[in-house]
Amino acid sequence: MICPICKGEMEKIKDVIEQDGLEFKAFKCKSCGEEIMNMKQLKSLARKYRKLRKAKEITFAKWGNSIAVRILREIVDEYGITSGRQGILTRDREGIKIVPS
């Protein structure tokens, strides 16, 4: 593949979006550092994003006078969360964080 900016040679690279920990593949120019993705690489990244987004979805529900949080099975299994197990809820600038104890 040829760089559209400087016509230099491009190589396949693997990188990570730090914020989400998502791995992606792209082409990077050996001369100017320009990075581009082809359709296959873009679609792959979009698929990973959709999956990540879905895995993070929660639902709030009324439970007596409180509000309960429904967590998707995928996350429950990943963290070994069971009914009755306790955790700690902390706050930060973006919202709340739940850490199973």
Binding site for Zn ion (CB under 5 A): 3, 5-6, 8, 29, 31-32, 34
Distance CA 85, CA 99 (A): 11
Contact in structure between 74 and 58 (CB atoms under 8 Å): no
User: Least separation, in Å, of the C-beta of 40 and Zn ion?
Assistant: 21
User: Least separation, in Å, of the C-beta of 35 and Zn ion?
Assistant: 10
Q: Residue 1 or 6: which CB sits closer to Zn ion?
A: 6
Q: What does the radius of gyration of the chain's CA atoms come to, in whole angstroms? A: 20
User: Least separation, in Å, of the C-beta of 42 and Zn ion?
Assistant: 19
Contact in structure between 69 and 96 (CB atoms under 8 Å): no
Q: Residue 15 or 74: which CB sits closer to Zn ion?
A: 15
Q: Residue 4 or 87: which CB sits closer to Zn ion?
A: 4
Distance CA 13, CA 41 (A): 11
